[in-house]
Structure 1
Amino acid sequence: MNSTTPAPACTRKTLWAWAIATFFGSGLLKPAPGTWGSLAALLLWAALAMGAHAPASTVLIALIGGIVLSIALGVPAATISARESGRKDPGFVVVDEVAGQWIALLGSPADWKHGLIALVLFRLFDITKPFPARQLEALPEGWGIVFDDVAAGLYAWGVAAIVRIWL
């Protein structure tokens, strides 16, 4: 190849980053990949909380660990996947929805009613992005991709905690 021939577009994918960013493929499902990512997070919570009958303290520790990991690995994975896809905030990146959904589930009793409340509230706040969540999208690369959903998760967590007072 000589200097006047353009280089081919990057088609290489960093496997670990794409696996994390798509949350092991759930972000590749259509339609609404963000909802699929949130459902995957909800199902993992349900498997631990209801399926395995884990004590509430174990579920809390697992959720906190999952949140930390999904943010710590999600930011670089989202950055790499976005760069490799050539898109600023690709829809297939759903590790941010996973982090936000798990935040929304913090403190939820282990039943479907509370899990669905957390899911609906998180998706509502993730889609509407009330202040300052939308402004967090301006953070660079993976930081912006992940932290607007962390904010949406915090909103959902707060509202869900208030709703639990009356349920």
Structure 2
Amino acid sequence: MDQTNPTSTIIAADRTRTAASHCLELFGGSISWGVVMAASALAALYLRNGLLTSHLTALALVYFLGGALSWPIMVPLARRVASSRPPSARFAAFFLALSLGTTAMTAFLFAMDYRWFYARWHAPFGSLIWTFQFLFTGASAVYQFAVLGVTLFMPFGLLCLIATSAYLARYER
């Protein structure tokens, strides 16, 4: 009959608990960051034109998903880069990772929505013309997002980015 070492069982249970804690922390941070980015976009739209747009739900969803999908990629990356560094370097790593990651993910989602709209006029999938159309439609969507969409992050998103980066830099494990 096999004997189980109680110490290894305790260690395995502790590791499982730690891994679950990290996953929940990452998931919670992802949802929170998505909500903050959507709220920032909605606040900017409110200040700009009183939320008078027919695409309010779609915009809120794109900004929410941009924040929520960038968090689980960029925060662990910044943690790996910033581990055992001074707090100022950790702050810079989190600030850079979250700002670039959130902007890039939101621009990507905007480009895919843009592409979905123009797909009905594009050539058949996989052709050379389709490839050019896909690339240039995506590039023009990212440019349009850079000019018009990034401004929706500015009034409150920047403040939240600074506060979140400072919090993550201070309480890094």
Superposition TM-score, scaled by structure 1 size: 0.32
Which structure features the higher share of helix residues?
2
Give the TM-score of the pair, scaled to structure 2: 0.31
Q: Quick check: which has more Rg, 1 or 2?
A: 2
